[in-house]
Amino acid sequence: MKHIIKIFSCFLLMILISSCAQEVEIDTGDFVPRIVIEGYIENDEYPWVNITNNQEFFKDINLDFTSEEGFATLLNLFVMDAEVTVTDGTTIDTLEFMIAPEILEGKYVWPPVKYQGSKIIGEVGKFYDMKVVHKEKVYTATTTITEPLIPDSVWVEYSLRNDKDCWIHVRIHDNPDEYNYYNCYSKRIGKDNYFTECLFCLWNDQFFNGLDFEATVYRGSSSTFAMDTVASNLADIGQYAVGDTVILKVLTMDNVSFRFWQSTKQSSYPHSNISGDALGVWCGYGVYYTEPIIIKEKP
C-alpha cells in the first residue's frame, strides 16, 4: 500500500509541474554579421588560419558538401577571398588558400578549407603576428609559442566497477617562475580520426604554481561530424577502455589564448584577441605528444 501511495504522489506531482509549465521564448537579439578568424601556430608546424562568416543561432547548416545545399553552405560559410599573412619579424609568410579534396568525396575534414603557411615553422619562444585583409578591412593579432610541458609520468588507473574501463593520469611539475596555462587532447589509434579535447583539462596554475601536480585525463566527446571509425556511446565519454592505444597531445599557451578558451566555456561571447571587430582567436601552442599508451588488461 505504501508503494502505491508513493507512486500516486509522484504521478500527482508530475501533473502539477506540467500544468505550471510555460512556453519560453529566447531572445537572441539582432544578428550582426561578422567574420570569425581561427588560426594556430604550433612548434615544428606551419601556421594555418580558417575564416568563416558568423551564422544566426538557429540557422541550419548542411555540412554534406557533396550535396547542392551543402556546397552552397561551403560558399556562404567560409571566407575564400581574404589575404592572410603571418610574420615572425623577419620572414613574411603569405598563407595559401586550400580546399581539402576529401570533402568532395563525402569525407569529414575540419576545417574543409583553410589558409596554409609554407615558409614559417613555429619555434618555442618566438612571437608571431597575423594579419587578415578582407573587403578593405584589416584584422590583426599577436601570439607566442610557449615552452611545451613534458609530463613527469603517465599511467593508467582502472575503474573499481569493472576491469574494462579506465582513466589516464599524468604527473607534472609546474614552473614556479612563470604563470602557466594548459590543455590536453587525446586520440585513440584506430578509433579516432582526430585529437579530441579532454574533459576538465583547461587549467592555469593558480592553485599549484611551482608544485608537483597530478591530473586525471578524461576522454572528451568528438564532433558528431567527425566520423570516428568506432562510434562513441555517451555512456563511454570520459573514460578509455582496455585495448585502446592512446596518444595525448599536451598543450601550453599564453594568457591571452587561455582567456579566449576559458571564455568559450563560460560565455556566449568569447574574449577574442583579434583586433578589427572580428571574432575568434590567433593562438600559439607549445605541443608535446606522449608515446603511445597501450592500455592492457588489469594486472
In angstroms and rounded to an integer, the radius of gyration of the C-alpha atoms of the chain is 23
CA angle, 236 as apex, 234 and 239 as ends, to 5°? 135
Each residue of 18-36: pLDDT tens digit? 444 445 444 445 667 789 9
Residues 6+ apart with CB under 8 A from 56: 28, 31
Contact 80, 134 (CB under 8 A): no
How far apart, in whole angstroms, are the C-alpha atoms of residue 283 and residue 261? Answer: 10
Contact 200, 218 (CB under 8 A): yes
pLDDT attached to residue 233: 58
Each residue of 97-137: pLDDT tens digit? 998 888 777 777 778 889 999 999 999 999 999 999 999 99
pLDDT attached to residue 79: 93
Average pLDDT of the residues in 176-200: 93
pLDDT attached to residue 26: 45
> Which position has the higher pLDDT, 79 or 32?
79
What is the share, in percent, of the chain residues with pLDDT greater than 90? 59
pLDDT attached to residue 11: 40
Question: What's the distance, Cα to Cα, between the start and end of the chain in Å?
Answer: 50
CA angle, 262 as apex, 259 and 265 as ends, to 5°? 150
Contact 205, 179 (CB under 8 A): yes
> Which position has the higher pLDDT, 68 or 220?
220
pLDDT attached to residue 262: 94
- How far is CA 11 from its chain centroid? 43
pLDDT attached to residue 16: 41
Contact 121, 114 (CB under 8 A): no
pLDDT attached to residue 163: 79
Burial class (CB in 10 A: 0-12, 13-18, 19+), 39: buried
* Peptide bond between residue 292 and the one before it cis (omega within 30 degrees of 0): no
Mean pLDDT (the chain) is 84
Beta strands 35-42 and 279-289, pairing class: parallel
3-state secondary structure of 147: coil
Residues in the chain: 299
Residue with cell 571564455: 263
3-state secondary structure of 204: strand
- What's the pLDDT band for 299 if we cut at 50, 70, 90? confident
Residue of 67, 68, 63, 45 lying closest to 113 (CA atoms) = 63
Contact 61, 69 (CB under 8 A): no
Residues 6+ apart with CB under 8 A from 117: 41, 46, 47, 48, 86, 93, 95, 96
Cα separations in angstroms, 185 against 158, 205, 224, 287: 20, 18, 17, 10
Alpha helices by DSSP H, listed for the chain, are 2-20, 68-77, 255-266
Q: Which three cell numbers stand for residue 7?
A: 507512486
pTM for the model: 0.82
- What's the pLDDT band for 10 if we cut at 50, 70, 90? very low
Beta bridge partners of 264: none
pLDDT attached to residue 92: 98
Each residue of 238-277: pLDDT tens digit? 899 999 999 999 999 999 999 999 999 887 678 899 998 8
Each residue of 131-176: pLDDT tens digit? 999 999 999 999 999 999 999 999 999 988 887 889 999 999 999 9
Residue-by-residue DSSP string for 5-38: HHHHHHHHHHHHHHHH--------------EEEE
pLDDT attached to residue 8: 37
Each residue of 50-71: pLDDT tens digit? 999 876 555 566 556 566 666 5
